[in-house]
Structure 1
Amino acid sequence: MNNSSKQKLIEICDSEDDQNNFYTTADDDIADSNFIYILNTILSGTARLNVLLPTATILAFTIFAPLLTNDGKCENLEKWFMGFFLALSAASCIFFSFTDSFRTATGRLHYGIATVKGIWTFNGGRTKPCVPSDYRLRWADIFHALLSLIAFLTFAASHADVLDCYRLVVPRKVTNSVPLVVGFAVSFLLVMFPSRRRGIGYPFLLQSDALYYRN
């Protein structure tokens, strides 16, 4: 084999090695990008838990429950007040799960509630987004509303004043452990299956997150 043939063979081998290195780098980049996307999804969902969970409702319930139940020493009227407040709080968990928002061409922010036909704004439905069907009610909204409701009812049913008010006897281990287990399970599901809604109390600027672009 002459020198020119050897030189061509060396060049071919070098070019094949470069291509293999290129493909390996591309595969690594794809794997890294997939890992980063999954990590960003988890971290983004975790950061939104304070909104997706009924945090404000639970805080309000914690403040008013001792007042409405007289520290657990309820009479008939106080039991009715507590029942009404409990139902109102549960309804708020469902309601806020269905709220959404959008901006008009002028940049004005409008809030509304998702329906089967689209979003119904709180100004009587006069203002609508460019594509109302993008905001229609979905099964995922019902799923998130149920998770929020379960989290609140578990907390409320484990509240000491509520149990004393209705003369319910529950072991302390149950009242201490069940809310934690349910809260962890609900939080995990909300992180894995996040909501696309940008409702009341949700920062609208987060809608620029690519993870939550509407289909």
Structure 2
Amino acid sequence: MDGNGEPLPEAPVSGRKRKAVAKGMQKTLSKTSMLVNFLPTGTLLTFEMLLPAVSGDGSCSPVSTMMILLLLGLCASSCFFFHFTDSFRGPDGKVYYGFVTPRGLAVFRSGLGVEVPKDDRFRMGFVDLVHAAMAVMVFAAIALSDHRVTNCLFPGKAKEMDEVMESFPLMVGVVCSGLFLVFPNTRYGIGCMAA
């Protein structure tokens, strides 16, 4: 505002600067939206649906503790496995899914009559292992923040677990989000939009 209370005219923003900012924003948003493809949302939803039935009435009997451990193991395996799936669109327009191996993509159903691409993109690499391990860490951080799980797995350690779980999920989230952005992945596995 000037001395008379009137607003000062704004300095014109150059077209190049505006374009650069828009391009940077677009790149950041597209990379951030890719995080959704790598987080174990489906597995977490399944875990949260099955946990009340598995944990029972909260008495933490040996059977319910074993069931919780089994559920944790199955869900962690699911997180790990799904990071090694990929897909391609065939000449007929259909999407075909497969498992990524060091030699290339192995489709789930053989005899489809469609040629599987031989690109390097469909070979398993170090980035796949990093993403799978991070997905398991994210799942574990969220699953272990549930009191039904920690009370059964660590009986009598509620205070210590509360202290650990105050910062552990946040640390895992920050580290894994950063690593997901540093190690980009172009997999379009089961549940992701095909290329």
Identity across the alignment (%)? 32
Describe the SS at the equivalent of 2:87: strand
Task: Work out which of the residue numbers 162, 179, 190 in structure 2 matches 1:172.
Answer: 162
Letter in 1 for 2:34: R
Task: Work out which of the residue numbers 131, 140, 158 in structure 1 matches 2:145.
Answer: 158
Q: Find the structure with the greater CA-based Rg.
A: 1
Distance 1:157 1:38, change over 3 A: same
Distance 1:106 1:165, change over 3 A: same
Alignment of 1:50-89 (within 5 A): 50-89=36-75
CA deviation after TM superposition for structure 1 residue 168, in Å? 5.5
Distance 1:88 1:142, change over 3 A: same
Instruction: Give yes or no for the alignment of 1:143 onto 2:100.
Output: no
Distance 1:185 1:133, change over 3 A: closer
Aligned to 1:49: 35
Normalising by structure 2, report the TM-score: 0.79
Aligned to 2:26: 40
Separation of aligned partners in 2, 1:181 and 1:125: 46
Separation of aligned partners in 2, 1:156 and 1:173: 16
Aligned residues between the structures: 178
Letter in 2 for 1:190: F
Separation of aligned partners in 1, 2:32 and 2:57: 34
CA deviation after TM superposition for structure 1 residue 180, in Å? 1.9
Aligned to 1:201: 191
Alignment of 1:99-118 (within 5 A): 99-118=85-104
Separation of aligned partners in 1, 2:69 and 2:111: 33
Q: Which runs of 4+ in 1 moved over 4 A?
A: 31-38
Q: Runs of 5+ in structure 1 lacking a partner?
A: 1-24, 208-215
CA distances 1:42-92 after superposition (whole Å, capped 9, x unpaired): 211211222211111122222222321125322122222111111110000
Root-mean-square deviation (Å) = 2.4
More helix by share: 1
Letter in 2 for 1:44: S
Letter in 2 for 1:178: F
CA distances 1:85-134 after superposition (whole Å, capped 9, x unpaired): 11110000011111100011221210011001100111037544232543
- Contact 2:37-2:192 within 8 A present in 1 as well: yes
Letter in 1 for 2:55: T
Aligned to 2:109: 123
Normalising by structure 1, report the TM-score: 0.73
Separation of aligned partners in 1, 2:187 and 2:115: 16
Separation of aligned partners in 2, 1:66 and 1:41: 41
Separation of aligned partners in 1, 2:156 and 2:121: 46
Distance 1:158 1:111, change over 3 A: same
Separation of aligned partners in 1, 2:145 and 2:93: 44
